[in-house]
Structure 1
Amino acid sequence: MSALEGVRAIVTGGASGIGAAIAARIVEGGGKVVVFDRTPLDGDTPSLVVDIIDTVAVEKAVAEADTLLGGLTAVVNCAGIGAQGDVTANDDDEWLRVLDVNLLGTVRVSRAAIPILRRAGGGAIVNVSSIAATAGLPQRALYSASKGAVSALTRAMAADHLREGIRVNAVNPGTADTPWVQRLLDSASDPVAERAALAARQPTGRLVAAPEVAEAVAYLLSPAAASTTGIELAVDGGMQALRLRQS
């Protein structure tokens, strides 16, 4: 658990779900965290109320986090929002809103943090993408496009900053058991059947647990991943890679 000692990270979207699990795992591993979220965070973990669609607020918060942490070494871009429907379902305003958070939010935080990491001699960035970036999922056109862009951005950032000592990777969760997914289930006509269907499409037959995603992020932040950059690490119950015969 001490493998993350020395990691001093910003975790965006860290007030709940996968982000909260990531923040907790870094602290458990001996690291330090400042959470960015629109929701104030209860507890001992330092947090800043930040809306990642606001460039000025992001730049101010990243500088403040650097001070609070005693020197920033890592960023986990986890904040994001969802969208449902095929490509005809969402108007321009909704496309711009989702891209502003999922893609440009990642850009804004990374853009503010990279000069700090550069001056420190390096660090690690992990972007939380999605199975939707690599597999065609029904009724997820806008969300898939936003996460596909995050995955492409990850590879470009990894290439740009490798020689500065900054590793950039992504994790691609499958459908995870989070408050956001639960809200989607609650809006379904038959939440029990919808949950069963989401679980069944993953070869493991269950939803991904948020701490499982956090473990993947912890690895990518740790010294054990010193030779790992520009990858997407799937934590999706085998959904992307496996084609099992029905039993």
Structure 2
Amino acid sequence: MRERLLLLCALTALTGCPKKGGDDAAMLLPEVKAGLATREAKLKSYRIAGTVQDAGLEPVTFTFEYRAPQRLRGTLGPPASRTFAWDGAHFFQQFDGEKRFATFTSELPPAKLAGFLSETFHPFMPEGFRTPLLLSHATVRRATHPLAPQAVELVQKLDGDAAGLEMVYVLRWPQLDFLGRRTVSPDGAAAEERVEEEHCDAALSLCVPKRLGRWQGGKRVGETVLTRVELNAALPNDGFTLTAPEGYDVQTRTLVESTPATQPTDG
């Protein structure tokens, strides 16, 4: 009888171990979601400037300003500067090389407008300054990292056009600062962004990347280096509303949904 009881205890312990790990991961995901929301709320505005460089090419300078909710302004260059801005009501384009200026009003549905702004300003926003988009089937596991004794990995497998692509964010725990991102495609091709230097703000209790390296197939292929980082900077509304410089060709346009091209008919 005693041996039978010991056997039952051993079986209970063995079957309980995976459940405990699963419970820990299940409890960790809501904490990560809440922590990311808290972190995003802390960072109400920022101003950054730096360079983006791909292997074998000259670096491109850029500046970017963000203020919640949804005020954005990004500039590429010089020498041929291009500026894009959204002030909450209008989208602006200013191309200094061509001396062209355009103001757009929007007739896009909110979801389409959000997608347009994300696509336009995404190149100006390094990882670590934007919150990872959490899919419904995301999972979380504990990890370690050279910059953080305690970290978590946020694992997501994409659907749709990117079906099968696995994306893994590495975040410092519990601050959830961005430390890296790995992507692995179904054919095994791997790419990675790694934080190599950070800018930390003690008052906000968070860090953002100052230097990011990009890797593909184990080779370094580029980097983003920030020479200026201002967190929660004072950014007035009029800084996002552009006016045309003198002598520029000025146009007024409307953002509308694109319609499929009409298919030719027989006859």
TM (normalized to structure 1)?
Answer: 0.27
TM (normalized to structure 2)?
Answer: 0.25
Q: Which has more strand, going by share of residues?
A: 2
